[in-house]
Each structure stands twice: as structure tokens, then as C-alpha cells.
Chains A and B, each alone.
Chain A
Amino acid sequence: MSNVIQAIEAPADFGEFPDPLGHFGPYGGRFVPELLMAPLEELASAYAHFRADPQFQAELYADLQYYVGRPTPLYFARHWTEQVGGAQLYLKREDLDHTGAHKINNTMGQALLASRMGKRRIVAETGAGQHGVATAAVCARLGMECIVYMGAEDVRRQSVNVYRMRLMGAKVVPVESGTRTLKDALNEAFRDWAANVDDTFYIIGTVAGPHPYPEMVRDFQAVIGRETREQCLEQHGRLPDALVACVGGGSNAIGMFHPFLGDTGVEIYGAEAGGEGVETERHAAPLSAGRPGVLHGNRTYLMENADGQIMPTHSVSAGLDYPGVGPEHAWLKDTGRVRYVAVDDNDALAAFHGLAQLEGIIPALETAHAIAYAEKLAAQMDPDQIIVINCSGRGDKDIDTVAEVEGADL
């Protein structure tokens, strides 16, 4: 079922994409109801203006430094490396960002943009809750009204994050429609935006959605890859041999990958949620086992049935439980620049425990997918080689989920 589109030649410069209408090769674009075209054009033009504004960039940089806590360390996981026996394993510690995940790099950028555009009401959607928490935090900091849509099933799975959002003043709206997960929360957030476009800014949490979101979110997250590049050069005098990141919508992954796309010596891997296995229907791996289609404003790989209906997804990680993926990833898959693999629930859970015990770092379940794949990869590589894994978030939020799956009593 996969590989419907044959590999196409990689462009000379990945940095030149997307095109002005938001296309990454055949992917991306702007597939939305007419009502949203004007606000998207307004957003694209505001973003183009402020990304080139040194004052805006300086303000964002200061917030990333003093509020988010950047730069995050590039950490050598010595004990883990010794256990695996192979390439050296380094973690880019996005779990140390304020609120516990990379998500805040992007919400900080979009919230600043919203305030420059004069919009004081923020809507967002969230799956695992990390994007919702990061949005609630920046809204509190900037004094903005914050409404977060969250699938009712995810509200149940991530009650601690729901409480955190409410503590910071956000209104969390459980979404009861459809599969009651992230995709339904996205539908609901789009509807709110459509009804309130005059005063409302929609902060999308991943590199999907209509143009300019995939480009804008990528740019805000690319700080991860830029730092990784500089830190690796500083610490080792050379670039890493491989990068690994988990891919749900794909924002932490594209943030790490993008600054390295031109470095052809660096192998890049994205780990999707294999759930109970990509051969079953219980997974969330559109790049590994889906095909191209149109959903949520962009053309990309989707999990869909033969009639073009979007399939229910499954992952032990609520944050990866999404039937689509950012359009730039779709294109990186087709060009062959990034290799996408599926990691199933059991391997992710084992990696979750492994990193906690070997390094004293409890990774998010999303991140655990990348950890699991990095172990397999490292074991086939030489001890003088370097793998950097994007440790995209911390796992405190997932403790209830893991305890429930494993029957532990908290």
C-alpha cells in the first residue's frame, strides 16, 4: 500500500521550499473553505513581514532564552551508549524546555506574531496536551484569552495536562465528535477560527495545516536543529552521522532535520507510531502505511480507506495519534532524503523504561519511539559514529498511561 509515489529527485536546495503558495513538491498547499482564505493570506503576509523584522526576531530570541530556557544541552548518554554497544548516542534535550517539550518554541513565536497582528484571542488544538500546555503558558505570559480544543478521549488520557492548562487560565473544550481525538480537535479549532476570524489567531501545534503553517511552524522549531548543528561542531568538530526524531504531525522532527537537509553526509530517520503493527489497522503511521490525500488544509500522506475516508488511528502515545503528517515530511519521504520507519507500542514502552533506568531521563512516549529506533540503528553502527536523538519532551505526562497499560498501581 505504501510507496504509491515513486522516489523523485531531491532538489538542490531544500531551504528554498515551500513555493509562494506553500507547495513542497506535490504536497502542502491551501485546501480550506473560502472563509479561511483571507485570514490565511493575512497571516502569510504578516509572517513574511515579521520574520524579516530584526526587532521581532530579537524579542523572540530573548523569550526563547529567558522564558523557554534555550539553548538546551546536547547530552551524551554514556550509560545508554555502553548498553547498546555501537554508535555514540546524544540527546538534544528539548524535554528541558519550559512546560516540558519542544512545543513552546512554536507557541512562543506564533503568540508573539498574534500580538503584533493585534489578535488577543487564541484558539489551539491539542492531542497529548503538550501543545495545549505550551499555548496556555504563552497566553498567560502575554495576557491573551486562550481556548484549547481537545478530543474527549484525550481529555481522559491526559487529565494532568488538562489541569495544568486550566491552572494557567486556559479554557479547555472537550470535543465529542468523530473519534474524539486530535483530528476532531483540529476540525473544531478550524470551526472556531472560521466563526471568529476578526479577533482570533489559531496557533497550530504542528507542521501540518494550510500554508503558511507548515513553513512557519518549521521555522520556529528549526532552532532545535541549528543549535544541534552548532553544538555538535563545537563538541566534536564535525556533524553527526545520523539524526533520529519521532514523527506524529512532525514538528519536533522537522525542527531538528531542516537545518541538516543540505548536509548529505548526515543520515536522517523519522520514527512513526507503529501502534500494534503497521500490518494491522491499529497504528498511526501514514508515511509507512498510508497514501497521499487532502485533509486539514494540505495535501500529504494520510491514513485513509479506499473511499478516501480518514481512518481511526491508534498509538500508545496520544501525541502521535494523528492520521496525517506535515507535507514537508511527505516530500522528504518521496525524495528519499529522510527515511521513515514505524516503531510499535511495545518497543516504545521498552525504550521508555530503558532510558529512565539507564540515564535518569523519563522521555515522553512520543520520544520513546525515536529512542527505540535509535537503539536498533546504533547497534549496527561503529563506536566512532554519532547519533543525535531529539528528546522532544519529558514523560511525566505519560506516567498514568504507562501505569494503566502495564497494570501498575499508582
Chain B
Amino acid sequence: MSRIAHRFAQRRAEQRKALVTYVTGGDPHPEATVPIMHRLVGAGADIIEVGMPFSDPMADGPVIQSACDRALENGTGLAGVLEMVRAFRRTDNDTPVVLMGYLNPIEQIGYQSFARDAAAAGVDGVLTVDLPPEEGSEFVAALTAHDLDPIWLIAPTTRMERVNAICDQARGFVYYVSLKGVTGAGTLDIDDVGSHVDTIREATQTPVGVGFGVRSGDDAARLGQVADAVVVGTAIVSRIAENVGDDAAIGDAVHAITQELRQGLDSPLVESAP
């Protein structure tokens, strides 16, 4: 069983929902990321997504674009991100790590080399936001050959036939994008999210994570009602951005927001309870 599947099985047995947290690798500088990853775990994160910085992150909002810019300015490329995962694994062999990013840096390494290096570094899954399944068969083959889970996005606009096709290829978890727009945008409509998640559940047994627009413990609590996992990126990256220049303050701020999200997730809102 993959680390991701194992983690979901654990949480399910405890009747708890999983917390997936995102941080851009190398933001604000290369030495910062591994300590941040450990703080995320310490505050209750179940799965860590590490962003592979890209110069043109078209599906992300300004907060994550700025994080990519900081990481790139300080010299973090894809190889650097893999090095960070390797360093994280020296003291944490349990927490699943998912790489998230855009296709072009991966293409330059080559699908096979990337999958081999990522697996060797201790990566568990990979999400490329600008690679739809129609163009992805070769990449998915490379990932699965190295026991890496391909993580796919499903959007509010995705037709049912595509939901089925995507779910057929999905492993680890399926990532439902809870609103139209880019990361960090808009506000949540929990009923709408719930009905889409139900649709996805009809197509797959794979756990469903929901992300985009989760800012607070209350948001996490509400989404935890309908999803197997809640994914949080912009809210965490914002805390990093607010404390650039002070690594200790970054660690504390990241810890505080993650703990708030964890508590929200573990104590569902009374009025929404079944």
C-alpha cells in the first residue's frame, strides 16, 4: 500500500479527515523548506504537497506566483526540490509527499528520469496542473512504473464522462477544485461542493480531497463534512510571505495556521453534523 493510501486508511479508521498542506519548495529560500515541512507535520498535516517552482504558474493566484518567484530568485529548481524531499525523509519516513507543479520543468528532465529520481527521493505522488489525461498517458506510465501516484484535478466544469476517465487513472486521491478560478480566489459554496464530491464518489473509491479557497479552521470544518481531505495552499503560503526574512517567525506562523486547520477539521461544526 502506498504511503498516501495508508494515511487515508489510518484516518478513515479513526473517523477523521485528512489535512493536505501545500508549500512551494525553496520559498523563501532553499534551507527554509525542510524545517517548514516538519512544522506542518508537527501541527497536524497528513500529507505535504511541495510545489515545484515555475516561472509561469498560470493556474495559481498572485500569492503562489510570488512564492515561485522567491524560490526561483534564490536558486531552487526541480533538482533542488527533490533534494529537499530527500532531506525530509531522513527524519520522517511516514508522511506522504506529493509534488505539485507544471509540466515544462519535468519535460526538460524527461519523464522517466524525473519519475526515477522522484521515487528515489521519497516522493509518493505527482500532480501536474497543466497536464490533462488526454496528453498524459506517457507521463502516467512513467509515474506508475516507479510506484508514484498520479494525482488528478477535477473541476466544477468537468463533464461526467471526463470524471469517469480521470477517476480510472487516479491513485492516491482525487483533487476536486472547489471553485472556479485560481488558487486563493473566491469563496466556498459548501452545498455545491458536496454535490460534486458525491458525483465523484460514484465514479471511484479513491479518496476525494477538496481545495482552493480554504482559509480558516471554519472553512476546513465545513469542507471536512463532505470530503475525505481538505487541501490548503494559499493560506499557508501567505503566512510565509508575511514573515520573509525571519525563519523562526515563518515556522511559528505556519504552525499556528496548520493547527487551526487541524482543529477545525477534527471538530466539525455542530449545526452541520449529520
A interface list, Cβ under 8 A from B = 21, 29-35, 37-39, 41, 177-178, 183-184, 186-187, 190-191, 194-198, 293-297, 302, 304, 306-310
Contacts and interface: CB of A to CB of B under 8 A. Distances in A.
Nearest to B153: A34
A35 B177 contact: yes
Nearest to A29: B135
Given A34-B158, A38-B159, A39-B157, A194 B132 contact: no
A197 B104 contact: no
A390 B152 CA distance: 44
Nearest to A191: B182
Given A35-B177, A194-B181, A307 B157 contact: no
A37 B157 CA distance: 8
A34 B179 CA distance: 12
Contacts of B107: 293-294, 308
B77 A33 contact: no
A310 B180 contact: no
B245 interface: no
Contact of B103 (A31, A41, A186, A198): A31
A21 B109 CA distance: 25
Contacts of A34: 132, 152-155, 157-158, 166, 177
Contacts of B180: 35, 194-198
Interface of B: 54-59, 61-62, 65, 69, 72, 77-79, 102-109, 129-132, 134-135, 152-159, 162, 166, 177, 180-182, 185-186
A307 B59 contact: no
A21 B106 CA distance: 22
Contacts of A21: 134
Contacts of A183: 56
Contact of A195 (B159, B166, B186): B186
18 contacts: A31-B130, A31-B132, A33-B59, A33-B129, A34-B155, A35-B59, A35-B181, A37-B157, A178-B69, A187-B57, A194-B180, A194-B182, A195-B180, A198-B180, A293-B107, A294-B104, A308-B54, A309-B105
A38 B153 CA distance: 13
Contact of B157 (A31, A197, A297, A308): A197
Contact of B130 (A39, A186, A294, A308): A294
B97 to A, nearest CB: 20
A198 B180 CA distance: 10
A306 B181 CA distance: 31
A304 B102 CA distance: 14
A293 B130 contact: no
B104 A296 contact: no
A307 B155 contact: no
Contacts of A178: 55-56, 65, 69
B135 A30 contact: yes
A191 B135 contact: no
B157 A302 contact: no
A287 B213 CA distance: 40
Nearest to A309: B55
B153 A33 contact: yes
Contacts of A32: 58, 130, 132
B58 A191 contact: yes
Contacts of A184: 56
A310 B107 CA distance: 13
A308 B78 contact: yes
Nearest to B61: A191
A38 B158 CA distance: 6
Contacts of A177: 62, 65
Given A35-B177, A37-B132, A309 B77 contact: yes
Most B-side CB within 10 Å, residue of A29, A34, A35 = A34
A236 B212 CA distance: 61
B77 A307 contact: yes
Contact of A35 (B62, B103, B104, B155): B155
Contacts of B166: 34
A201 to B, nearest CB: 15
Report the 10 A-B pairs with minimum CB-CB distance, sorted nearest first: A308-B105, A308-B108, A195-B181, A38-B157, A307-B77, A35-B155, A33-B59, A34-B153, A309-B55, A308-B104
B58 A296 contact: yes
A261 B107 CA distance: 30
Contacts of B155: 33-35, 37-38
B202 to A, nearest CB: 18
Nearest to B69: A178
Contacts of A304: 104, 108
Contacts of A35: 59, 153, 155-157, 177, 180-181
Contacts of B156: 35
Given A38-B157, A195-B185, A294 B134 contact: no
Given A34-B154, A35-B177, A297 B55 contact: no
Contacts of B154: 34
Nearest to B60: A191
Contacts of A197: 157, 180
Given A195-B180, A293-B107, 14 more contacts: A30-B135, A33-B153, A34-B153, A35-B155, A37-B162, A178-B69, A191-B58, A195-B181, A294-B103, A294-B130, A302-B104, A307-B77, A307-B105, A309-B105
A177 B68 CA distance: 11
A256 B223 CA distance: 53
A306 B186 CA distance: 36
A309 B62 CA distance: 18
A178 B55 CA distance: 8
A250 B15 CA distance: 56
A308 B101 CA distance: 12
B104 to A, nearest CB: 4
